[in-house]
Chains A and B, each alone.
Chain A
C-alpha cells in the first residue's frame, strides 16, 4: 500500500444537494468516489494525486432503475450486478448484460458502477461501446440544474469528459431499441478480469432486407470509446443480400486510431477490430435469415 492514506480527507454527503454543494464550493478539489473499483487501484499504488474524496455511498437516489414506455433510466450508482439481473435489461439491452458480465468478475461487478465506468473515461471500459450502440445519454447535474449529453459527446479525450468539476453524473438514459440485432464482443487476454484489447458492440434494425438502423460502438481502439460512423454509413440503407462487408471493414479503419500499449499493438487491434466487425455482420445476416 503506497497511497498516502493519512493525508486523505473524505466527505460522505447524505443527499445529492449536499454533494453538489461540496463540489460547488471547491470545484476540482473533491474527487467523487463511487464503488472504488477503478479509483482504489491507482490510489493504493500511490499514483493518484487526489487527497480529497467525496464518497457517494449514501446517495441512494442514484441507485434506482426506472423503466417507462420509451426506455430505461439508470441511477449512476447502479452496479454491473444490478444490470445483469434486471429483467428489462436482459430482454431489451442484451449488449449491456454482456458488458456487465465481462467486467472484472463477481466481486468487481458487485461494487463497480455504470456511472463510474463512464466518468473514469477509460477508452477500454466495457460498457461505453454498448451505451454508444444504444444511443444512450447521460445526465450531468450541478447546483444550477441538469443537462443531458449523448454518450457519444461525453468523452473529449483520453480520460477526459465534458463533465465540469462542479457536476456529478447522476443518471444514464437508454431509449428502448426496436426489435433488432444485438452484438457484443470483448477481446481480452482471458475471459474474466481482463482489460479489453478490442471491444465492439452493435445494434441494427433490418426492414424488408434493408439495414434501416445501425450503430456500432468500440472500445480500446481510440483515445475514447467511439461510434464507428464511417463503418455504419457503409452499411446503412444497404441490402442484406449484398452487404458491402469489405467496404465496411475498410471504412472502420478510418474510424479507429489504435495504439501500441502494454495490452496489445495497434496492428493487432486494427486486424481484430476488422475481424470482429466482419463477424458481427455475418451474424446479422444469419440472424435475419433465422427470423424469416
Chain B
C-alpha cells in the first residue's frame, strides 16, 4: 500500500469491498474513482446541490463532505445498487413514468433522496416531499415532475 493510504473496508450495494485510499479523500471520489461507480455525480462539491447524495448506514449524506476515513466499516447504497437484476426500483420506475428526469445529472441524487424520504415516511405530503428533496437541486426545469414521481412511487397520487 502507498504511504499514507489506509485500507478502506465497506459494503457497497451489498458487496464487501476493500480499497486503499487516502484518509481525507472525499467519499465522492472514492466511489467514482476507486470503486468505479460513476453514477454518483459531482455538482457543486460543497454540500449545496445534492448531486453526490448516497445512503450511508441508512442515512442520506453528501458524499462530497464525507472524508473517506469516516466511511470505514460503513454500508453504502449508491444509485447502482437500487435496481435488482434487470428490474428497476419503484422510484426509478416512477421517475421514468412521470418524466422526472431531464438531463439526468441530478437524478441519481434525487432518486436516493427520495428513497431515503420514503424509508422514513411512507406516504409523504407534498410539503414533506419538497422538504425531503430541498437539498437536491435541478437546474433543467423544476421540481413538479420530480414531486409527481415521488407521489406516484408512494402511491399518494396515481401517475
Contacts and interface: CB of A to CB of B under 8 A. Distances in A.
Interface string A42-85: 01110000000101010000000000000000000000010000
Contacts of A36: 65-67, 70
Contacts of A81: 59
A263 to B, nearest CB: 14
B122 interface: no
B60 A41 contact: no
A40 interface: yes
B37 interface: no
Given A36-B66, A37-B65, A44-B45, A192 B26 contact: no
A102 B135 CA distance: 11
Interface stretch (A6-14, A224-232, A242-250): A6-14
A55 B67 contact: yes
A44 B113 CA distance: 23
B60 A110 contact: yes
Contacts of B61: 107, 110-111
A53 B65 CA distance: 15
Contact of A192 (B23, B29, B66, B135): B135
Q: Chain A interface secondary structure, helix, strand, loop or mixed?
A: mixed
B134 A192 contact: yes
Most buried by A among B22, B53, B64, B65: B65
B48 interface: yes
Contact of A5 (B24, B47, B60, B135): B24
Given A5-B25, A106-B132, A107-B113, A40 B66 contact: yes
A105 B26 contact: no
Given A5-B25, A8-B23, A110-B61, A104 B69 contact: no
A8 B22 contact: yes
Contacts of A53: 23-24, 67
Interface of B: 4, 22-26, 29, 45-48, 50, 53, 59-62, 64-67, 69-70, 72, 113, 116-117, 131-132, 134-137
13 contacts: A6-B4, A9-B4, A36-B70, A37-B47, A41-B65, A44-B64, A45-B45, A55-B70, A81-B59, A104-B135, A105-B50, A106-B60, A108-B47
Interface of A: 1, 3, 5-6, 8-10, 12, 33, 35-37, 40-41, 43-45, 53, 55, 57, 81, 104-108, 110-111, 191-193
